[in-house]
Amino acid sequence: MTAHDSVPTRRSARADAAGSRSRRAPRRRQTVGGALVSLLAELLIIAGAGTGLYVVWTAWWTDVVAVNEQTKLVDGLDRITPPDTDGTEHRGTAPVLDEPPGTSTVFGSMQIPRFGADYDRPIGEGTDREQVLNTIGLGHYRDTAMPGAPGNFAVAGHRVTYGKPLNQIAELQEGDPVVVRITDAKTKFDVWYVYRVTDSQIVTPDKIETIAPVPNEPGVEPTAKDRWLTLTACHPMWSAAERFVTHAKLDYWMPASEGTPKELSETAK
């Protein structure tokens, strides 16, 4: 075959290729509606990712920061070091802090063996969300009794986020100990109070009689034996629709100078 013979062959190939392209279906242009749908889908994906990151930050990172800060608050309390022994259980008239603490003041801590040996959270005065619950952790309802006094020492705390100090409140059982330690360095006041869980209930937020001086008996004057503790937290998880409430009654008290409640030393073993 000569060079002249090969020319028609190349032209024919180019013609066939051009014809093939002309027979392809034309590309559809995206309509305005389609573009909007695509944009909306992309925005939803971005929003979903942002929501996921926010949930991680709220549920995990706030806990990490809050627990660290709350631990520092407990460590910062000016307390004596109790003797390494189980102290004497006192069931008579209990000592009571002379002056109520100022708002947001950390005046004690709470340990609940069922929540683990390392559970030790600060208690602050008041239940303001930003000043107390989101920072200190546990907040004492103003105008309720102090530990040791007749009446109801009522405390609120988050069940999720910000250290979630009452996350396991629903796991408490009748007879479980709740140990409160109240400290005032100025007066050298340092006393343990050991409560025992009596019951739990779920109520709507308006049922304030749960923190009455005698729980659920508004108007009833407490006797010397009515020395209560009430824990309240939101219910269910991630909702403020209801409150999970646990009541406990004072079993005994003990000066920190005499030792440590056996309920704590047994948990530490």
Asked whether residue 113 is domain-assigned, the answer is yes
Overall average pLDDT of the 245-259 stretch? 97
What is the rounded end-to-end Cα distance, in angstroms, of the chain?
A: 100
pLDDT in tens, 59-109: 667 788 899 999 999 999 999 999 988 889 999 999 999 888 999 999 999
* HSE (side-chain half, CA atoms, 13 Å) at 89: 10
Residue 131 amino acid letter: Q
Asked whether residue 227 is domain-assigned, the answer is yes
Residue 35 has pLDDT above 70, yes or no: no
In this prediction the pTM is 0.79
For residue 147, the enclosing domain spans 62-268
Asked whether residue 48 is domain-assigned, the answer is no
The torsion of the CA quartet 88, 94, 99, 104, rounded to 10 degrees, works out to 70
pLDDT in tens, 160-190: 999 999 999 999 999 999 999 999 999 999 9
Asked whether residue 31 is domain-assigned, the answer is no
What pLDDT does 265 receive? 82
Asked whether residue 5 is domain-assigned, the answer is no
What pLDDT does 136 receive? 97
CATH code of the domain covering residue 76? 2.40.260.10
Asked whether residue 20 is domain-assigned, the answer is no
- What is the number of structural domains in the chain? 1
Residue 12 has pLDDT above 60, yes or no: no
Asked whether residue 211 is domain-assigned, the answer is yes
Asked whether residue 162 is domain-assigned, the answer is yes
